[in-house]
Structure 1
Amino acid sequence: MAEAVVVVLIGKLSVALANGAASYGASLLCKKAYALKGLFREIRKAEGELQIMKDYLHDAEKLKDTNNTTGIFVKKIRDLAFRIEDVIDEFTYKLEDDKHGDKLKRWLVGGLEERNKIVTVWGMGGVEDCEMYRRRLIRQWITARFIKEKENKTLEQVAEGYLNELVNRSLLLVVKKNEFGRVKCCRMHDVVRHLALNKAEQECFGLLYEGSGTFLVDNARRLSIQSTNITPLSQSSATHIRAIHVFMSSVDIDFLRPMLASSNLLSTLDLQGTQIKMLPDEVFSLFNLRFLGLKYTGIEIIPEELGRLQNLEVLDAFKTSLRSLPKGLAKLKKLRYLYACVQYKKVTVTNLGGVKMPRGIRNLTRLHARQKVKASIESLFDVSALTELRTFAVSDVTSELSVNLCSAIISMCHLAHLSVTASNENEVLPWEALRLPETLCKLDLGGQLEKKRLPQILSSWSHLKNLARLTLIGSKLDEDSFPSLVVLSGLYLLELDKAYDGKKLHFPALSFPRLRQLDILGPLHLNQVEIAKGALESLGELVFAKCPELKFLPCCIENLTSLEELHLHDIAEELVDKLRQKTEANQCNEELMKISHIKKVIVRLTEKNIQERIR
């Protein structure tokens, strides 16, 4: 662990040297030039000495538990390394302060070397048995500078490789995988979590605050808060803190004000799930902040001071009460992930609404994800300049705006996930001009599609060989247009939410060979489902919900040998009664015989408060 700290310092010294050299070059005619020149010699000397220390510690780390003297020496080096790290951070901050004056203070903390694996694991600690999602973990690891690009891989790919390695070593339990077979969320083994937290505390990497007894932050770099009683924290100095994670919803954030005011080096502030409605002013003085997590909070407004967070890379305000974002957002040139959407109490096309964007977001050229934009001529014009987008979601689209949207999407040559929602359920979107990029993996469309042109529109998607997930909401498919979807042979997941208006649904032979999950939701007129032999041969999960006219199981469902789960929610009561019916030993329930090969079968009738697993 001590070796890892020294490795980090070597990386930081290199960056500090580069930044200092730039400042030196800009100040050759100033009195400070001579002093800086001497400082560079000292930095180069320290860098060489640290390299020697790293090589020594590589062997000493193995002996510290058996040799008391070595253990004490390693601890002293670790403590010294932490103090040096603070000095380097202060140095880079000072360079920027001198460079830009009081109006604009920046932290330039360069790419760091990889951390010891147990340190990376601790970053997932959280509440006991807490489920942590892959995307959230990866973004936090990246913004904490635990990850470096290598072997022509992106930061996200390297981070996911580490996550998979932890899973393969049984340090993490996979809770759920997505339709691609990738880890979606996971949790830590209790024993591993206990060991990781102890190690983190010993090495001053992080502390867990549970609200009992006296508590001193001291030299800890990260703080995990798991108590509503945070009054003692208001007395703590936190000059070394790099990350604060809050895991309790009813925490009074005002008690964190003194800590935030003293945390000049803070790079991660994760308040996900808390009940805050407004951020403390102190947050906007955190010039080194790279991750701001406001997901599932009650946040209603973000002030113009947001523009002061010049190093912000992730702003996550997913499912909040935000209706708009401030003009200062356009100043965040390093922003890579921007999630902001409002959760509607009343569901129309979808339960998530877009957020009004300020002008100038076309300058945020590093953005990889933008979810969710409230459509307007101005916002779609600005979005068209964001050519690095991998994820894009837009709401409130009208037929008049569809041309502008199609034009914007054409420029997104790296797009992997696209979500488009109409302004209301009666809005018909003319998608014949939509040219979807071949890179697309996920597509969500909410709103009616032009009925006469539906077959042509769906057939035009045949080039989407990478498309694995398709969600259609309110699309008005029927017996004539549904077969056009068969061209999407690479789908792993297909969800039709109030998107099918026909009475009969037929899956022809050899259709959807890779499909693992099929959700049919809200087809009010559907009364017959036919599955030809050889269709849906890989299907593992099948869901029918809100199908009041569905009185029979799908024809030939017994041929779906890969099917492991069948969910029947709010279908015809007649079918539910058949499946729940208890039979004598010498009698045969034909409906149950059809699904005898399925491991898990659940039926539910919401109005009658019935939910039962029959297999």
Structure 2
Amino acid sequence: MAEGFLEIVNDVQPEAVAESYLMELISRSLIQVTRRNEFGRPREFKMHDIIRDFALSIAKEESFLAACNGDKGVEEGGIHRYSVRVKDKETMTRNGTSQLRSLIIFVDENSKFNKFPYGLKLLRVWDLENAPMDEVPTEFGELFNLRYLNLLRTQVKKLPKSIDKLFNLQSLLLKFGKIKELPTEIGKLQNLRHLSAFYLVESEVRDVMEDVQCIEVSSNICMIKGLQVLNYARATSGLLIKLKEMEQLRRIGLSGLTETDEEHLCNSIQRMQHLHCLWLTALPQAVLKLDALPSAPPYLERLFLVGKLRKVPHWFNTLLSLKFLSLEGSRVGKAAITHIQTLPNLLRLNLMGNAFVGKLTLH
């Protein structure tokens, strides 16, 4: 998507077109699946060594891609895509190229760098996952052509307000990082389709749900009419009120919910007819109330509910497309199991942390 390689197909989401390309590569054995999720969907891939070497050779001949091991800087030479490996505590050079479209940086353990290539105004893809950096480069606001930005597992604590200049940005990945709040200017990114973010906090008692925290997002995010994924945001009152405007969402995750949020939350979910994945977490002492929702979104496949439920929502029997259900801390009884057993397409059920009260018997 970010590179513009996808063919535009009427009435078909670009993500679906991209997935069809990926499936064709797999069917032709050009890439191999190394891990699938519980539904058989491919999640991780690799290339056979022979195919990889051949692909890199052709890519170099065509000036399509160059791979560096970190011993050389990014140099001028007409290459549009660089894959750079930083190792042995090297400092990444600032010798750059004005022609770069994609820059993917792989960082070995204990490596570090403190300088970036300059003159990257044509850059579309910037993958900095695991990079040992605590702030974004000063040229950040000048990357007008940037479509994809990956800051997973970095130490960056804040995004500058100049992010509003990245008006072509489609994907922003911030998971497992240090960013706790996004600037209000995020609402100006009208081409943004995927926002995936949460931060980690240190805890003496290691518990995944306690360590992972949702970021605070301004209600301005609801101005982005093409956003497909919003994972994961803190449910502020301002956000919940405007959330009903995001009818196009396919995935959403919210935390910090209380009983008083029921009306706005359910009203918003009711409008999300394309929703495939829903993740809701209540505050520790709050009850997760969802009875105001008339029926479940018709294409909902994955549902995560974290928090106390006074009872199973009445719309559980409308979850006809549901494949994955996770309940945590719900404290539901036998009546819930009766509803769950009737779900026709359920493949996996997770009950965690006092999700069920009583003796569990499944037929």
TM-score (norm 2): 0.92
CA-to-aligned-CA distance 1:413-465 (integer Å, 9 cap, x gap): 211111001111x3222222234211211111100100xx33xx2x5222221
Aligned to 2:201: 344
Return closer, same or farther for 1:289/1:144 CA change in 2, 3 Å cut-off.
Answer: same
Aligned partner of 1:300 among 157, 173, 194: 157
CA-to-aligned-CA distance 1:99-132 (integer Å, 9 cap, x gap): xxxxxxxxxxxxxxxxxxxxxxxxxxxxxxxxxx
CA-to-aligned-CA distance 1:257-278 (integer Å, 9 cap, x gap): xx2x312211111101223221
Return closer, same or farther for 1:151/1:324 CA change in 2, 3 Å cut-off.
Answer: closer
**2:86 touches 2:112 (CA, 8 Å); kept in 1?**
no
Return closer, same or farther for 1:389/1:292 CA change in 2, 3 Å cut-off.
Answer: same
Aligned to 1:153: 12
Which of these two proteins has the greater Rg computed from alpha carbons? 1
TM-score (norm 1): 0.55
Greater helix proportion:
1
Aligned to 1:189: 48
Return closer, same or farther for 1:215/1:385 CA change in 2, 3 Å cut-off.
Answer: closer
- The one-letter code sitting in structure 2 at the alignment partner of 1:460 is W
Aligned to 1:474: 329
Aligned to 2:235: 375
Shift of 1:230: 5.5
**1:376 touches 1:401 (CA, 8 Å); kept in 2?**
no
Shift of 1:165: 1.4
Return closer, same or farther for 1:308/1:152 CA change in 2, 3 Å cut-off.
Answer: closer
Aligned to 2:144: 287
Shift of 1:308: 1.1
Number of equivalent positions: 357
Aligned partner of 2:215 among 352, 355, 363: 355
- The one-letter code sitting in structure 2 at the alignment partner of 1:465 is L
Aligned to 2:101: 242
**1:349 touches 1:421 (CA, 8 Å); kept in 2?**
no
**1:361 touches 1:382 (CA, 8 Å); kept in 2?**
no
Distance in 2 (alpha carbons) for counterparts of 1:217 and 1:208: 14
Shift of 1:255: 1.6
Unaligned residue ranges in structure 2 (runs of 5+): none
Aligned to 1:449: 309
Aligned partner of 1:460 among 315, 339, 353: 315
Q: Which secondary structure state, in structure 1, belongs to the residue aligned with residue 227 of structure 2?
A: coil
Shift of 1:504: 2.8
Greater relative CO (CA pairs within 8 A, separation 6+): 2
Aligned to 2:185: 328
Aligned to 2:226: 366
Return closer, same or farther for 1:473/1:184 CA change in 2, 3 Å cut-off.
Answer: same
1:313 aligns with 2:170: yes
1:386 aligns with 2:243: no
**1:349 touches 1:474 (CA, 8 Å); kept in 2?**
no
**2:140 touches 2:162 (CA, 8 Å); kept in 1?**
no
Shift of 1:334: 0.9
Shift of 1:212: 3.0
- The one-letter code sitting in structure 1 at the alignment partner of 2:143 is L
Distance in 2 (alpha carbons) for counterparts of 1:397 and 1:415: 19
Shift of 1:503: 5.0
- The one-letter code sitting in structure 2 at the alignment partner of 1:323 is K
CA RMSD of aligned residues (A): 2.0
Q: Which secondary structure state, in structure 1, belongs to the residue aligned with residue 338 of structure 2?
A: helix
Unaligned residue ranges in structure 1 (runs of 5+): 1-141, 509-615
- The one-letter code sitting in structure 2 at the alignment partner of 1:338 is L
Distance in 2 (alpha carbons) for counterparts of 1:428 and 1:413: 25
CA-to-aligned-CA distance 1:528-579 (integer Å, 9 cap, x gap): xxxxxxxxxxxxxxxxxxxxxxxxxxxxxxxxxxxxxxxxxxxxxxxxxxxx
Distance in 2 (alpha carbons) for counterparts of 1:356 and 1:151: 35
Distance in 2 (alpha carbons) for counterparts of 1:345 and 1:402: 31
Aligned to 1:277: 134
Return closer, same or farther for 1:310/1:151 CA change in 2, 3 Å cut-off.
Answer: closer
1:411 aligns with 2:271: yes
Give runs of aligned pairs for residues 500-579 of structure 1, distance below 5 A. 500-502=355-357, 504-508=359-363
**1:174 touches 1:187 (CA, 8 Å); kept in 2?**
yes
Q: Which secondary structure state, in structure 1, belongs to the residue aligned with residue 19 of structure 2?
A: helix
Shift of 1:171: 1.7
Aligned to 2:348: 493
Return closer, same or farther for 1:500/1:327 CA change in 2, 3 Å cut-off.
Answer: closer
After the TM superposition, list the runs of 4 or more consecutive aligned residues in structure 1 that deviate by more than 6 angstroms: none
Aligned partner of 1:397 among 232, 247, 257: 257
Return closer, same or farther for 1:243/1:215 CA change in 2, 3 Å cut-off.
Answer: closer
**2:114 touches 2:133 (CA, 8 Å); kept in 1?**
no
**1:391 touches 1:418 (CA, 8 Å); kept in 2?**
yes
1:437 aligns with 2:292: no
Distance in 1 (alpha carbons) for counterparts of 2:90 and 2:7: 35
Aligned partner of 2:28 among 169, 173, 183: 169
- The one-letter code sitting in structure 2 at the alignment partner of 1:423 is L
Distance in 2 (alpha carbons) for counterparts of 1:152 and 1:376: 34
Q: Which secondary structure state, in structure 2, belongs to the residue aligned with residue 156 of structure 1?
A: helix
CA-to-aligned-CA distance 1:348-382 (integer Å, 9 cap, x gap): 85542211112422211110111111111101122
Return closer, same or farther for 1:218/1:493 CA change in 2, 3 Å cut-off.
Answer: same
Distance in 2 (alpha carbons) for counterparts of 1:199 and 1:233: 26
Return closer, same or farther for 1:239/1:349 CA change in 2, 3 Å cut-off.
Answer: closer
Shift of 1:232: 6.4
CA-to-aligned-CA distance 1:39-64 (integer Å, 9 cap, x gap): xxxxxxxxxxxxxxxxxxxxxxxxxx
- The one-letter code sitting in structure 2 at the alignment partner of 1:477 is V
